Structure 1
Amino acid sequence: MRELTKYIWWKKPDEAMQDERRLIAQVMCLGDWDDTLKLESNVEREALIGAIKNAEAGWFTPRAWHFWHYRLGLAKNESDIPQLPVRKFR
């Protein structure tokens, strides 16, 4: 559980585990190469795609956003990568 707080430090571990998509996105965004390999070997590809396709504003940095679109085969070139999600105010 200690490693979990590396990614979701603002929630208790039990709370963090309830939002799998958010946890996956945090590892995708903040993880190092070893974390990436662990994530890919322990989480189904569809869950990784679901995390990026349903990401909320602020979940990904531009670097991680681009990396994962290429890594998951969702993009072959820059024009295939959608804009990062943004917050909308009424």
Structure 2
Amino acid sequence: MYLAKIYVTYKPSILDPQGEVIKSALKRMDYADIQQVAQGKYFEVKLNAKDVDTASSEVKSFTEALLINQNTETYRFDLSLVEDEVEA
């Protein structure tokens, strides 16, 4: 079983309004060294796949089809092999 950790953020050319609001609030709170804040989404997906290449291909496919807006967002993901959990 694989665990995919998927990180979604706006593309660099797209304004991140929530990130800008957070950055402004931090500056008002006297965190003067803040230069940029990027707000995004995070997903964890466990999947059964025969190998890491298959898992990677599946994650890329469903992320592009469902989890992101390809016009405004970009993503990256990490895959790790995890033990099957026994449900009680």
- TM-score normalised to structure 2 length: 0.26
- TM-score normalised to structure 1 length: 0.26
Q: Determine which structure has more spread, i.e. the larger CA radius of gyration.
A: 2
Higher helix share: 1
Higher RCO (CA 8 Å, separation ≥ 6 residues): 2
